[in-house]
Structure 1
């Protein structure tokens, strides 16, 4: 029993820590980046990836014979053959790996140094494009515009254009794109600690609207940490008197029930409490009372009293996706971020491949691929490539492109960079 109490406390601390990190990130002020010092690679973070990096130690391992004007035509309309010749520049691949591992500042300093030293010949413009992409992804418009001035002065051509976040709508974005629709969140197949990012978005939406939509139609599994995080979020929305549209909530209750067993005390009560919270929101009094008795028996406590929700709760069934939503002519749309386990993503790509002669993976919305996830993605695509099906990554940002090149994805798929317009 003592061991289980320790496990329960550890789980609660984990939930607390995840929420603390979210609140700290939300409260962190956004300040203009410092101007590069004389030593642009001076470190403030210890033990960073390749912390002994010095830009002059690296030289391009290939000869680039294409004229700079061709590389720069149409802003960043680099031809595929030009990219293929520059894809093995070690320093650019290392910067991409740093970005993929979350070491954003080190990647930024490295690219800034490459640009300042200007010693990669015709590959140097690609470092500019990578840095433009980094600032765009980080929503650092101040640095982006400063870099634009430098770019225009050096190459005497128009720089890439800053894109406001509302200009790019993700077809799989969890917030509702239609301005007339209720803003909200579509939860992923796994309800675990990773939902903290969605809950942060939900918190932001809660400041803009008193009505929110929570869609649980995709949820296939839950764990105690995810239940604890969602429980706290829902309780906060109740306190703030937000009206809720609950989509496929009974699917979520079924997934929670799958991990519960009467009489078995798990590491936290969170799944039980979340289940009862949702049953109250759905005004399923009889189901709530049955669950509360099971909870009482399991944890040897008094059963909680049923409280009908004070805020307005509307239920809805999950809408069937429009036919071929992700299988349009533009291809299968990759998510904004690829991280953690990629089994579900790979499976969706394989399903797409069954009905298409060419597997087009549209990366218009893709901002970052985690280093470990890129290896999993490669392993998942190798069998598909072995079947002779052409695979194309289109509209790839330059950071992801060089990560893919470094990881060997270029050996199983064509990687086509996006155009800055």
Structure 2
């Protein structure tokens, strides 16, 4: 057995807290809320007078607001007012101002916006920027859709007197729009005199196999031994079939001694010469036409140089130079007959058109000719609108004739087309 050597501790009883006596209850006395003494109101000896209200202008001197009749109280201080305020002026300045009259276009035609952009640049004498935009727009608006941009670019080149670029653009236009391009215009139209017994033939545009009538008429005249004058000033180009027939007619006439005179062939000759390249064995009829034209309107050196190119390209002998081909006849130019229109010319800048008053009053149907005008700025266009508006309001008709497309588009921008009838020449 195992015994514990440690004695078990006895359990102690828990101690209870000692009892403490309770404190006696204390009764506090009741405190009453103090009541304010009521003062007796003495009645007034006399009743208050009746109040009389009168209308008065705020800030005026005609009276006061809420003034008691017969009282000696000082008048109330008037409200602060703007002495310059005028309701009539307010309505006039704000309801009839130019700001309130702005017409915001919600659906603006992008093509029209581009046209106006070009016209503004040109009117401000920024031809380079206008030309760059037009060269971009004729490609952005392909074909007939961009016809207005083509017309503007042609007239810009005309105004810039860039005949070479104008002629090259004509070829590009014919290919893109499949129609004849505009022709170069002279500021002073010229009339070619035709000798007695001769017949005048005019070749213009781009001649193809579908328009052989002029050459057929020329062939009939040569068979009748009739002298002929051929105006090539408006001729842009031709295909190989037309070139072959034209070259054959000129060659036969030259060998037969018939009088066939070419007038203003220089531009067409230059374009034809640039188009034919050495080493490209094509366009044989056009080569023959080139050599025939050089026989008549070129030097012997120019002819022989291109004859060598012809031999290298087609590997056979070219036609020979014939001194008897002679020099071209100098055309006799007569000024065109002018009518009773009022002619304007040059660049119109800061013009007020005072001289138009007498012109319009003198004629029943005044005609203002713009064929000689190269450019018109915005100020002049606005002044022209102001000058013609009273006549339009009075029922008068006025014709503006032959502005170029750049000037005509500017007239439309400023609203001149509502004051006069604008006739643009056909391209």
Indicate whether the TM-score tops 0.5.
no
Greater radius of gyration (CA) = 2
Which structure is higher in helix share? 1
TM-score when scaled to structure 2?
0.38
Question: TM-score, normalised to structure 1's length?
Answer: 0.39
Higher relative contact order (CA 8 A, sep 6+): 1
